[in-house]
Amino acid sequence: MIADIFSWIFILGGCVFLVIGGVGVLRMPDLFTRMHAASITDTLGAGLLILGMMIQGGFTLVTVKLFLIMLFAFFAGPTATHALAQAALSMGIKPLLSQDRRPDAVQSDDKGDGL
């Protein structure tokens, strides 16, 4: 019973963060800022959902498999995000910036001649 309550709290919390991430993707102005919103769904959204399901699973092999899913998501997620960001920047998609603290030489480097 107590386990049920906790697992529901985690699952509902995960759902809330998934929805917030979705709203963020719609509200953000450009590709790069949208990726920040999407990373909410990757980390806390998916993480809380899986944690809630692991509590439902108890001490079984299902829980182990859920843990492995979370582990792979945590390693694959940032790799994909990084690949997307680097591809976008090197192909000349300009991020909306309020500050650019990079040295000038690098700033003029990504004018969009790409790979």
The number of residues that bind other proteins (CB under 8 A) is 42
Please tell me the distance from the alpha carbon of residue 59 to that of residue 17, in angstroms, as a whole number.
Answer: 26
Amino acid at 55: I
Give the residue from 36, 15, 52, 12 showing the smallest Cα distance to 85.
36
Tokens, residue 36: 């920040």
- In contact, 74 and 67? CB cutoff 8 Å: no
Tell whether residue 35 is a contact of other proteins (CB under 8 A).
Answer: yes
Q: Which of 32, 57, 69, 93 binds other proteins (CB under 8 A)?
A: 32
CB of 1 to other proteins, least distance (A): 26
Closest to other proteins by CB, 1 or 6: 6
Tokens, residue 46: 């998916």
Would you tell me which residues interact with other proteins (CB under 8 A)? 17, 20-21, 23-24, 27-30, 32-33, 35-37, 39-40, 43-44, 61, 64-65, 68, 74-75, 77-79, 81-82, 85-86, 89, 95-103, 106
